[in-house]
């Protein structure tokens, strides 16, 4: 059964764009092992004859036509911005 060590947990946190203190990470590893024990119950199931379904219910998904319709105004979209300037979202400088 899969288990996780603190290094893997640190890597996972980085992938998840989340920060944890060392203590939080240690607690997390202990909890995570218990969760993995639970999810490992699927190991015993024989799936050799099962082909993968990509969609739970429908095989006939239809896409709607690509027609231009009225949408949000710039003002509406920017209304929830944490920081905005001159009609744009403000982000830190990414290119020097």
Partner 1 sequence: MDYLKCSLYEIRQMLENNEISSVELTKLCLDRINSTQNLNAIISTCEEQAIDAAKKCDQARKKGEKLGPLAGIPVVIKDNINLVGTKTTCASKFLENWISPFNATCAQKLIDAGAVIIGKANMDEFAMGSSTENSAFGVCRNPVNEDYVPGGSSGGSAATVASFQSFASLGTDTGGSIREPASFCGVVGLKPTYGRVSRFGVVAFASSLDQVGCFTRTVRDSAIMLNVLAGEDKKDMTSAKILVPDYEKSITGSVKGKKIGIAKQFFSDALNNEVRANIEKAIKLYEDNGAEIVDIDLPSLDTALAVYYIISSAEAASNLARFDGVKYGVRAKNFSDTVDLYFKSRTQGFGKEVKRRIMLGNYVLSSGYFDAFYRKAKKVQKIIRQEFETAFEKCDVIICPTTATVAFKLGEKCDDHLAMYLNDIYTVPVNIAGLPAISIPCGKVSNGLPVGMQLIAPHFKEETLFNFGDFYEKHAKEI
- State the residues that interact with partner 1 by CB under 8 A: 2, 4, 9, 12-13, 15-20, 28, 31-32, 34-35, 38-45, 47, 50-53, 55-58, 61-64, 72, 76-77, 79-83, 89, 91-92, 94
Report the nearest approach of partner 1 to the CB of residue 86 (Å).
16
Nearer CB in complex with partner 1: 64/85: 64
- Strands of the chain, DSSP E: 84-85, 88-89
Report the nearest approach of partner 1 to the CB of residue 18 (Å).
5
Report d(CA 6, CA 24) in Å as an integer: 11
Residue identified by tokens 């939080």 is: 24
Q: Are the beta carbons of 19 and 13 closer than 8 angstroms? A: yes
């Amino acid at each position: 059964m899969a288990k996780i060590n603190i290094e893997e947990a640190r890597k996972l946190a980085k992938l998840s764009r989340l920060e944890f203190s060392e203590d939080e990470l240690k607690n997390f590893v202990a909890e995570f092992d218990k969760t993995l024990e639970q999810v490992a119950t699927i190991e015993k199931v024989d799936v050799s004859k099962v082909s993968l379904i990509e969609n739970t219910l429908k095989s006939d998904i239809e896409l709607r036509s690509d027609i231009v319709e009225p949408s949000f105004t710039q003002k509406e979209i920017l209304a929830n911005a944490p920081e905005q300037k001159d009609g744009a979202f403000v982000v830190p400088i990414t290119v020097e």
